[in-house]
A and B are shown apart, each in its own frame.
Chain A
Amino acid sequence: MLSFNVLVLACLCYASFLFVVAFWAEQRAKRGRLGWLKSPWIYTLSLSIYCTAWTFYGAVGYAARSGLEFATIYMGPTMVMIGWWWILRKLVHIGRSQRITSIADLISSRYGKSTVLGVLVTVLAVIGTTPYIALQLQSVALSFAVFSQAGNEGVTGAATLPDLNVTALWVAAGLSLFAILFGTRNLDANERHHGVVTAIALEAIVKFIGLLAVGVFVVWGIGGGMADMLARIDASPVSQVDLDGTRFITLTLLSGAAFLTLPRMFQVLVVENADEDHLFTAGWAFPLYMFGMSLFVIPIAVVGLNVLPEGSNPDMFVLTLPLNYDQHALATLSFLGGFSSATSMVIVAAIALSTMVSNHIVVPLWLSSRKDSATYSGDIRAVVLLARRVSIAVVLALGYFYFRLSGGSEALAAIGLISFTGLAQVLPAMLGGIFWRGATRTGAIMGLCLGFTVWAYTMFLPSFGAAAGFSTQVLDNGPWGITQLRPQALFGITGVDPVVHAVVWSLALNSAVFILGSLMSFPRPVERLQGAQFVNVFDHSGPARGWSLGRVEAEDLLVMAQRIIGSAEAQSLFQNEAKAQGKKGYLPDPTPAFMDGLERKLAGSVGAATAHAMLGQITDGAAVSVEDLMAVANETAQMLEHSNQLEAQSNELARTARKLREANEKLTEISIQKDAFLSQISHELRTPMTSIRAFSEILRDAGTSGTKLDEASLARFSGVIHDEAQRLTRLLDALLDLSVLESGQVFLTWERHDLHDVIEHAIEATGQGLDGADLQIKRDLSSEHIILDTDADRLAQVFINLISNARKYCQAETPVLHIKTRRQGLNIQIDFIDNGQGIPEQKQSVIFEKFSRLGDEAKAGGAGLGLAICSEIAHNLGGSISYLPAQGGAGFRIDLPQTRQLP
């Protein structure tokens, strides 16, 4: 038999194990070896604090009472994780970029770092969460009681029933110790609490296995498998419950809203998030987790109602079913699951609430009490840490007292939805804040206050019944008999489910007032800046500037920063900034950027509003004035514009410079080419002229001086003059031709010709059969008959050039020139290939350049313009000429379009 003491021992062992795990994780994180500790799975599992003891135990009770309605609790978050992931992503992004420490900080920070809003949300969260903590304490105490009852039945009357209150007190004390130890190690609330997160991830696994084990036992152990189970469910009253559609949808939406706004959920979802990408894993894995958690709820409820005696508490079926069948190990596992659910929720909620309480209530109060001494020595860290630790103890104490006061009554069971509704009041301000730039502080305050009031009036206070003055009389007839104000039938709307009534009225009035208030009020400058940063969080590469004052002394800033984030860290922060500014030492210029970064850093420790207020005290004892901020905002906009313009200009300049450089290079190249060309022309012209002048002088001198030349010399010399004069003429003709071709001003006579005729004409013109009879020309006459649009004379000029080149330069024993023609699509190819030595590879690229000659071609009388002219002609005819390598000789290919290509 499992005695109560053994159970306590098991419980203590489990708790110690959690301590060890948390401690180990913390140490590992300290050494920077996070490894899988920052995996998306840990993140996903940590989200499971959504499933508290209320869902672990209560879901079965819920199902036993209201059938499938319990599923709404799981459907809301699933809807958020899958359908609203973009809201989550934006929240997480904002949380990380703004170093948000809690949901109160988010709201306060968004609406101009408003202290009022911070306090409001904090109070709301404390009021909404305390009963929930009480609920957890109660469920743990109850589960202990269930075990001890079971134990006592075995050993009749031996031990006294343990006092529920004492149990709850011990549990509360143990939990606050854990939360203080692992939740307040670092001051920077924005840093991850690896120990806590790892421990709750472990607890998530324990409760999952616990519930699943009980479910499997119920279906296959007690029931006879799936088929039997389905039959039982059909027969059970659970499936007979009529679902109220409106209530179902409302509850689903409410759970979804609570998933975003519960302080503990915000803590794990946003504050503890280490990587935005983890959301993608959590997006599908967490809904699966919840599906697993809800899978066996109905079977357990059905079997519990079936098997256990009438009047058994259905909230405890998860424990009493295994105990009823003497499955003590299973019951213990299930107990540990419930224990895990309760403790993990309480720990995270306590940490989240303590951060809010200390940052938004305690520290501002403390600061204002010593307003003149913000820069004095004395460690604010100690104050903040102490505030946070005390807050944890106080929050748990509040929970405990609530538990005591409510007497552990059944009334607590309803507190889950009441708590959800209360915290959902933050939703309009939150969503409005991150999606609507027009949302203002005034609107948010008004909406929150009204929503909170309506919630308290229609839901929270009536839950206390007569104790809070909400007697049946008030509920039925309204206060002072004003029926319009009946708490559960406002303005005469009756017949609505009380929960739906409260949710719809509170949220509708909240949203309406929030929107109206925002539209009718004017945002302060800080709100505008913050609003822009929140709404456009994905567009902002840098933060908008909030500080602009040169009056700040860097030393004061350092003194204050040291007190908040510690000496070493503050000094290294300042030193790095000074270094980045190119200064030595620890005192950088208090630039707006630095002030902004510093504020953000401080905000990670004490919250945005407090950090802003503290910096404000140093910057001339007051917050930045409206004018300053407007000026800054304008300046920022102007600077942005100016820098964009500058960037554009500098790009433009770079482009211009590049163009100029290119143009210059081109000009230089052209100039070099021109020099070379002129030099070449000069050479080509002067060489024949030299011979002409020299010989003509000889002839002239012979005429004048009387020294006779013999007839042979006379003939020879005048022959040279004649030849060289002709060479000059040819050269000039070629140059002229080239110049016309190059300028594109050549007059072409486009006509249809048979390619065969053109080739025939060219061969005739090269004097085949006269002085060069030794060059054989081989053709395939049948393939030559291609009709094309061309200038026949120009094309023939190209052919003539190629043929005479072959005649002049082909060194083969029996020189042969092959002329091959073929159609290639719309083009015609004409190849001229001889059987000589060909052209060396390194020369192939330059042979179409002007004046390029191979070796001593000059003797052949060419000026090196022939191929250049060929190339120009081919180009003018819409085609090209290229050297064909590897043909066993010199090979040239002419490509021509068959029909004229109009440019």
Chain B
Amino acid sequence: MGKRVLLIEDEPNIIEAIRFILSRDGWSVEIQSDGARAIDAVRTKHPDIVILDVMLPGMSGFEILRLLRQDPAHADLPILMLTARGQKKDRDLAQSYGVSAFMTKPFSNADMLETVRSLVAQAHQTSKDVTPDEAAAESIENG
């Protein structure tokens, strides 16, 4: 695998928990705690998936999501949003901005892991369909 996760979150204990869960599964986890620098981090680190908290210092998760989706380069990037405010309108807002998946804290570790895996696999699948050459190259590599 060797896929990379960018975790945008400011609660130290939650960061530690997620990092532990994902790294145990073989993901490489990078952290960004400042909302204002989150978009730069996505651009420079090219993660396979972004886990995005809503309540962040500097810039709100919704704003980060909206700006990311405006950029065609990140149109298909899997983004999983986490929020401690489990209100429906937050979920709707995130959906309207084009979030890939939405989870309410507290979450179960297994769900989190499963969601991250499937989102990345999905994205991988889609990109395979779109670029058969690349898929072929990969299959040759694997073979």
Contacts and interface: CB of A to CB of B under 8 A. Distances in A.
Contact of B84 (A686, A695, A698, A859): A686
Nearest to A695: B17
Contacts, number: 69
B132 interface: no
Contacts of B17: 690-691, 694-695, 698, 720
Contacts of B11: 687, 690-691, 858
Contacts of A723: 13
Interface string A845-886: 000000000011011000000000000000000000000000
A693 B107 contact: yes
B122 interface: no
Nearest to B34: A856
Contacts of A690: 11, 14, 17, 84, 105-107
A689 B86 CA distance: 13
Given A694-B21, A698-B17, A720-B16, A858 B10 contact: yes
A6 to B, nearest CB: 109
B105 A687 contact: yes
Contacts of B18: 694
A859 B21 contact: no
B106 A694 contact: yes
Interface in A669-724: 679, 682-695, 697-698, 701, 713, 720, 723-724
Nearest to B17: A694
A872 to B, nearest CB: 24
B57 interface: yes
A323 B110 CA distance: 137
B85 interface: yes
Contact of A682 (B20, B21, B86): B86
B85 A683 contact: yes
Contacts of A855: 57
B16 A682 contact: no
Contact of A698 (B12, B20, B85, B107): B20
B interface, size bucket: 20 to 34
Given A682-B84, A683-B85, A858-B11, A701 B105 contact: no
Contact of B13 (A684, A697, A724): A724
Of the listed residues B21, B84, B86, B104, the one surrounded by the most CB atoms of chain A closer than 10 A to its CB is: B84
Contacts of A692: 106
B108 A693 contact: yes
A686 B106 contact: yes
A669 B12 CA distance: 34
Contacts of A859: 12
Contacts of B84: 682-687, 690
B108 to A, nearest CB: 6
A858 B10 CA distance: 9
A713 B23 CA distance: 14
Given A693-B108, A694-B106, A698-B109, A686 B86 contact: yes
Contacts of A713: 20
A713 B85 CA distance: 29
A679 B107 CA distance: 18
Contacts of B109: 694, 697-698, 701
A688 B13 CA distance: 8
Nearest to A719: B13
Interface in B69-89: 84-87
Interface string B85-122: 11100000000000000001111111000000000000
B58 to A, nearest CB: 9
Interface of B: 10-14, 16-18, 20-21, 55, 57, 84-87, 104-110
20 contacts: A679-B85, A682-B87, A683-B55, A684-B84, A686-B85, A690-B11, A690-B105, A690-B106, A691-B13, A691-B14, A693-B108, A694-B109, A697-B108, A697-B109, A698-B20, A698-B21, A720-B13, A724-B13, A855-B57, A856-B57
Given A698-B17, A858-B10, 11 more contacts: A682-B84, A683-B55, A687-B105, A690-B11, A690-B84, A691-B13, A691-B17, A693-B106, A694-B21, A701-B109, A858-B11
